[in-house]
Amino acid sequence: MTDSRTPSQVLREARQKDSRDKRARVLSVVDQLLADDEPVTFTGVARAANVSHWLVYAEGVREHIETARRRQGRAAANGARASAKEPAGWKVEKNLLQEDNRRLREEVGRLKSAVRRSLGQQLDQFGAADLGARVDELTAEHQRLQGERDDALAQVKNLAQQLSEVQDDLASARLSLRRMIRNENAT
């Protein structure tokens, strides 16, 4: 025997599967970019994996991309150090900006996650209860309309029968009138 699932459960499971598939595509693209020694950027990964930008910044995915970027950054930094020196003030400013960016990305990720959870809860709340009520409402309306249709068909049948009787009476009256006229003309 199989368990019957509510529409909200089916929708939730479909969303979870879609999310897993998209996350797997993102991780695969990151690994491929690293293997090909291509630059790993959030936008490039989103585009290559054919996913939205918010997903590449989502918890669990963002860390993987940042790790890949750090690995590439270390290799690039080693090459850059060998070729030129930056002024000390720039380095401090750069580190501060990177820290601010990281903190802001985390905050945006947390806020997006909270919004997604809230929307999911709202969808779940509207799911089964509202759909069940709507189905009951539509079923009652369907039954009411069927009753009206049956009444209308019965009325049409009754009117058709009355029309047939009136036509027969009219035909009889015409026949009687013609006979009366013939009899009067004959006399």
Residue 1 reports pLDDT greater than 70: no
**Tokens 């009325």 found at:** 155
**What is the per-residue pLDDT for 128?**
64
Q: What is the pLDDT of residues 135-155, one digit of tens each?
A: 888 899 999 999 999 999 999
Q: Summarize the confidence of residues 18-26 as an average pLDDT.
A: 90
**What is the per-residue pLDDT for 144?**
94
Residue 119 reports pLDDT greater than 90: no
Which of 32-46, 100-114, 164-178 comes out lowest in average pLDDT?
A: 32-46
CA dist 173 and 154 (Å) reads 28
Of 132 and 26, the structure prediction assigns the larger pLDDT to 26
Token digits for 132?
């069940």
**Cα 151 → chain centroid:** 41
Of all residues in the chain, the percent with pLDDT exceeding 70 is 87
CA dist 109 and 115 (Å) reads 10
CB of 26 within 8 A of CB of 61? yes
Q: How many CA atoms lie within 13 A of 185 on its CB side?
A: 6
Residues 6+ apart with CB under 8 A from 128: 6, 7, 8
Q: Summarize the confidence of residues 88-113 as an average pLDDT.
A: 86
Most confident of 129-133, 134-138, 180-184: 180-184
Q: Summarize the confidence of residues 125-131 as an average pLDDT.
A: 67
Q: Summarize the confidence of residues 174-183 as an average pLDDT.
A: 92
Of 73 and 25, the structure prediction assigns the larger pLDDT to 25
CA dist 55 and 72 (Å) reads 21
CA dist 96 and 86 (Å) reads 15
**What is the per-residue pLDDT for 133?**
78
Residues 6+ apart with CB under 8 A from 123: 8, 11
Provide the residue type at 158 as one letter.
Answer: N
Backbone angles phi, psi at 37, to 5 degrees: 55, 40
Q: Summarize the confidence of residues 126-138 as an average pLDDT.
A: 75
Rg (CA), the chain: 39
